[in-house]
């Protein structure tokens, strides 16, 4: 199987998972991943329901945003995805959701502190809020890259959130954990004040998560 076909399948699968997990409604949100061995990305099309998408609906664009394969219009957030890939070579996949609790905090312009361990592990620290800019704009792309910096998740003011990782499976997990972290943050604020994990402990957990977590192949 070639890289383009594989990337299209992975984007398709992640879209269905994102919908199943309740991280988006209808056609909102978007997903992309790098195409292995090629200087291009596979991305969801603009305004199509995730559950009816087929492999052919996934659009392949080059790093200048030109469609190189596919007959659909790509997501309007192509500039945002491309800017992230350009600035972060460690990123292989991007998932953008409008999940409820993360969006609630994004609308209040409140960041998520690393208050739970799994959030510290996958996000690598607090989840900052990128300044508001219109969807699809180059300014949104700039604001997101600025706020994300060295992290793996970022909130988009009055909009939603983004999870990034080396692959789509991991990026989707980041979005799920951030949504859970956002929910816990809101609940914590109801009963008291959230107490973040120390910077050093967050760093240690992130390192352990990246190098030692899970089952290792022998």
Where would I find the beta strands (DSSP E) of the chain?
30-34, 40-43, 59-62, 67-69, 93-97, 129-130, 153-156, 160-165
Rank residues 92 and 160 by Cβ distance to Zn ion and give the closer one.
160
- Tell me if residue 77 is catalytic: yes
Rounded to the nearest whole angstrom, what is the least distance from the CB of residue 110 to Zn ion in the complex? 18
Q: Judged by CB, which is closer to Zn ion: 157, or 202?
A: 157
Query: Is there a contact between 127 and 103 (Cβ–Cβ < 8 Å)?
Result: no
Given the residues 17, 77, 176, 179, the one annotated as active site: 77
Query: Segment contacting Zn ion (CB under 5 A): 40-48, 84-92, 123-131, 158-166?
Result: 158-166
Q: Which is nearer to Zn ion, 160 or 181 (CB)?
A: 160
The least distance separating Zn ion from the CB of residue 162, rounded to whole angstroms, comes to 9
Calpha distance 50→44 (Å, rounded): 9
Tracing tokens 């790093």 back to the chain, one arrives at 63
Using alpha carbons, list the distances in angstroms from residue 117 to 21, 23, 121, 166, 184.
Answer: 21, 21, 6, 20, 12
Of the candidate spans 124-132, 157-165, 169-177, 210-218, the one that interacts with Zn ion by CB under 5 A turns out to be: 157-165
Q: Smallest distance, Å, CB 30 to Zn ion?
A: 7
By CB under 5 A, the residues from 160 to 189 that bind Zn ion are: 160
User: 31 vs 168, which CB is nearer to Zn ion?
Assistant: 31
Angle between helix axes 3-20 and 168-191 (nearest 10 degrees) is: 20
**Least distance in angstroms from the C-beta of 98 to Zn ion:** 6
| Least distance between Zn ion and beta carbon 153 (Å) | 15
Torsional class of 26: left (φ above 0), alpha (ψ -120 to 50), beta (otherwise): left
Site residues (CB under 5 A) for Zn ion, limited to 126-155: none
Alpha helices in 89-152 (DSSP H): 100-107, 117-123, 138-148
**Residue 9 vs 158, nearer CB to Zn ion:** 158
Q: Residues in contact with Zn ion, total (CB under 5 A)?
A: 1
Active-site residues: which are they?
77
Residue ranges that bind Zn ion, judged by CB under 5 A: 160
């Amino acid at each position: 199987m070639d890289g383009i076909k594989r990337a299209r399948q992975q984007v398709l699968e992640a879209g269905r998972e994102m919908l199943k997990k309740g991280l988006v409604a209808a056609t909102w949100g978007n997903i992309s991943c790098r195409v292995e061995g090629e200087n291009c990305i596979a991305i969801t099309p603009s305004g199509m329901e995730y559950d009816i998408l087929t492999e052919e609906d996934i659009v392949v664009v080059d790093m200048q945003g030109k469609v190189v394969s596919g007959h659909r219009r790509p997501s309007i957030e192509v500039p945002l995805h491309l800017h992230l890939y350009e600035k972060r070579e460690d990123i292989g996949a991007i998932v953008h959701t409008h999940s409820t609790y993360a969006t609630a905090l994004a609308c209040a312009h409140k960041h998520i502190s690393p208050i739970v361990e799994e959030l510290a592990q996958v996000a690598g620290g607090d989840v900052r809020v990128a300044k508001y800019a219109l969807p699809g704009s180059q300014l949104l792309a700039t604001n997101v890259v600025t706020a994300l910096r060295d992290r793996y998740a970022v909130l988009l003011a009055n909009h939603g959130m983004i999870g990034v990782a080396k692959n789509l499976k991991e990026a989707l997990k980041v979005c799920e954990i951030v949504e859970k972290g956002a929910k816990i943050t809101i609940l914590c604020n109801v009963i008291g004040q959230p107490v973040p994990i120390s910077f050093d402990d967050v760093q240690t957990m992130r390192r352990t998560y990246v190098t030692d977590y899970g089952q290792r192949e022998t």
